[in-house]
Amino acid sequence: MIFSTSRLSQSVIILVLVIVAASPANGGLRERKAHDPQQTITVGGTARTYLLHVPGSLQKGKPAPLVLVFHGGGGHAGNMPKFTQFDRLADQQGFIVAYPEGLNTHWSDTRGLSPADDVGFIRALVAEIERSQNIDLKRVYATGISNGGFFSQRLACELADKIAAVASVAATIPEPLVPVCRPSRPVSVMFMHGTKDPLVPIDGGPVARTHGRCVSLAAGSSFWRNHDQTSSKPSSADLPDNARDGTRVHREVYGGGKRDTEVVVYTIEGGGHTWPGSTQYLPAFLVGKASKNLDATRTIWEFFQKHSMQ
């Protein structure tokens, strides 16, 4: 059933947006694949859980990269394997994937959504996985959508000694994080953001009306370009419009940063609060269009492959 503003008041639409804000793949919240077992660790007296995918094809004796994938606010780790298809790509490319679970379905990204010590959780999680798996500690990465993408930015700021690169989808940088973000080293950063995201405005401002504020995509990119001392002029390209779905993708790459870092920005013209290449998890009139002109998961992995801790 399709609703319009003539049948729903603007206030009701806003309420619906707030409820689904940053909650991709909200159907089947706790669905997870049988081969991604749930693990538990205790951090600061609190039990924290995560799903772990270890491909059977990993080469013995060769350390594997680790990719941390963070769900959006209101979501669950169990959504993310199917939603992102990172398991399938990990099987093909030979890396390990962990899907952490936020406390009360949110991440502490500095917007006051959670009181949890999530940075401490992720530091402990990487150490725990290191004990059980042969991971390459120079190739640990973080990515996520919305609240998970904002939290990935916080990890780049506060856990730069562990995280080699981050990629944020449908997220920029939380406003409260910017003045306190002091990374211990240069970090390569990728952003993917839709111009018609109704929840996280590409020009900055209130997130989903009630969930704090974020800086604009341009300001987020500028912050990391200045920190990494990349080139000021990007290498730009428009990706082919193969999908013909009303979206177009523009890419900007700012290279030449300290320790070979770069800042990469994908602007999805006409795209919404979605994971490009994935499902239209909620109607487009609520969250905007999911572009099929970009495979976010593969693109993120190709970006990560280029960067390691130096």
Domain that holds residue 273: 10-305
Instruction: Give residue 200's pLDDT.
Output: 98
The string of pLDDT tens digits covering residues 175-232 is 999 999 999 999 999 999 999 999 999 999 999 978 899 999 999 999 999 999 999 9
The string of pLDDT tens digits covering residues 82-136 is 999 999 999 999 999 999 999 999 999 999 999 999 999 999 999 999 999 999 9
Closest CA to 157 of 174, 177, 171: 177
- Facing residues of 216 across strands? none
- Domain for residue 184, yes or no? yes
- Domain for residue 1, yes or no? no
Predicted confidence band of residue 24 (pLDDT cuts 50, 70, 90): low
Give the H or E element holding residue 20: helix 10-20
Mean pLDDT of 248-263: 98
The string of pLDDT tens digits covering residues 27-40 is 433 444 446 999 99
- Domain for residue 5, yes or no? no
* CATH number for position 238: 3.40.50.1820
Q: How many domains in the chain?
A: 1
The pTM (predicted TM-score) of the whole model is 0.91
- Domain for residue 253, yes or no? yes
**Can you spell out the DSSP letters for 90-146?**
HHHHT-EEEEE--BTTB--SSSSS--S-HHHHHHHHHHHHHHHS-EEEEEEEEEEET
- Domain for residue 20, yes or no? yes
Measured CA to CA in angstroms, residue 65 lies from 20, 97, 120, 139, 149 at distances of: 32, 9, 20, 5, 20
**Can you spell out the DSSP letters for 222-250?**
HHHHHHHT--SS-EEEEPP--S-SS-EEE
- Round to whole Å and give the CA distance between 146 and 288: 14
Instruction: Give residue 23's pLDDT.
Output: 55
- Domain for residue 310, yes or no? no
